[in-house]
Chain A
Amino acid sequence: GQQLNQSPQSMFIQEGEDVSMNCTSSSIFNTWLWYKQEPGEGPVLLIALYKAGELTSNGRLTAQFGITRKDSFLNISASIPSDVGIYFCAGQSQWNTGNQFYFGTGTSLTVIP
């Protein structure tokens, strides 16, 4: 299946710093979702994007749907210790007649108090 490339693979930051991560695909997507997963739990949906260029916020989190429709970005402002976890992007192809999502490889975030 399709593989989404997520970067960076891991991040170690100081509390209060801003975080940026991105996800790229070789295919055009019509939906991007961003999830956060903590150990032993299922992914929790953070932000959903449906239009190229769309910028959507959820508290300190902001995500953008790239204008090429092959990438997406997630920013976290003023990080706090509870932001720790693995962040996954997921994309749905425009050619997909169902709603199968392809997942990225994840970005592991560690926040140092």
Chain B
Amino acid sequence: DAGVTQSPTHLIKTRGQQVTLRCSPKSGHDTVSWYQQALGQGPQFIFQYYEEEERQRGNFPDRFSGHQFPNYSSELNVNALLLGDSALYLCASSRRTGVHEQYFGPGTRLTVT
């Protein structure tokens, strides 16, 4: 049973560039949530997708956008990168109904220079 997978593992970008991160949920899960984790802090909720739509959003600017595909996988896009966007980006999957346990992927380490 494959767990949550994310790609790429690491990424280095320059200020102003755009980045796309990818996530495949755990088998049987239909909901994907994205989190940003700065060094030394807890994960901060960015947004959540199910049924291919953004359902909830945290306190993040519109530069952060996403997408969910019919196979439940998801992408996180960040435009006009800032130095402050450097962080570990985590994807978590869960079931929309029933037990709401969230399982995390290994994360993508984004460095903006």
Known: A99-B48, A99-B94. A33 touches B104 (CB 8 A): no
Known: A1-B58, A42-B107, A43-B104. A102 touches B41 (CB 8 A): no
Known: A42-B105, A98-B48, A103-B44. A1 touches B100 (CB 8 A): no
Q: Is B109 an interface residue when CB atoms closer than 8 A count as contact?
A: yes
Q: Are the CB atoms of A41 and B107 closer together than 8 Å?
A: yes
The listed residue with most A CB atoms (<10 A of its CB), out of B45, B102, B106, is B102
Q: Are the CB atoms of A44 and B104 closer together than 8 Å?
A: yes
Count contacts between A and B, CB distance < 8 Å.
65
Q: Are the CB atoms of B102 and A106 closer together than 8 Å?
A: no
Within the assembled complex, what's the spacing in Å between the Cα atoms of A1 and B57?
10
Q: Are the CB atoms of B43 and A88 closer together than 8 Å?
A: yes
Q: Which of A45-100 contact B (CB under 8 A)?
A: 45, 48, 50, 88, 90, 92, 96, 98-100
Q: Is B24 an interface residue when CB atoms closer than 8 A count as contact?
A: no
Q: How many chain-B residues does the 8 Å CB contact rule pick out? A: 28
Residues of B within 8 A of A44 (CB): 104
Residue of B nearest to A89 (CB): B42
Q: How far is the CB of A55 from chain B (nearest CB, A)?
A: 18
Residues of A within 8 A of B4 (CB): 42
Which residue of the partner chain, among A31, A98, A99, A104, contacts B42 with CB atoms under 8 Å?
Answer: A104
Within the assembled complex, what's the spacing in Å between the Cα atoms of A87 and B45?
17
Q: 0/1 per residue, B24-63, Cβ < 8 Å to A?
A: 0000000101010000011111001000000110110000
Within the assembled complex, what's the spacing in Å between the Cα atoms of A50 and B99?
9
Q: Are the CB atoms of B90 and A45 closer together than 8 Å?
A: no
Within the assembled complex, what's the spacing in Å between the Cα atoms of A30 and B70?
30
Residue of B nearest to A50 (CB): B99
Q: 0/1 per residue, B1-34, Cβ < 8 Å to A?
A: 0001010000000000000000000000001010
Q: How far is the CB of B53 from chain A (nearest CB, A)?
A: 11
Known: A31-B100, A45-B102, A48-B99. A100 touches B42 (CB 8 A): no
Name the 7 nearest CB pairs between A and B, nearest first.
A103-B42, A42-B104, A99-B100, A98-B56, A42-B106, A42-B107, A43-B104
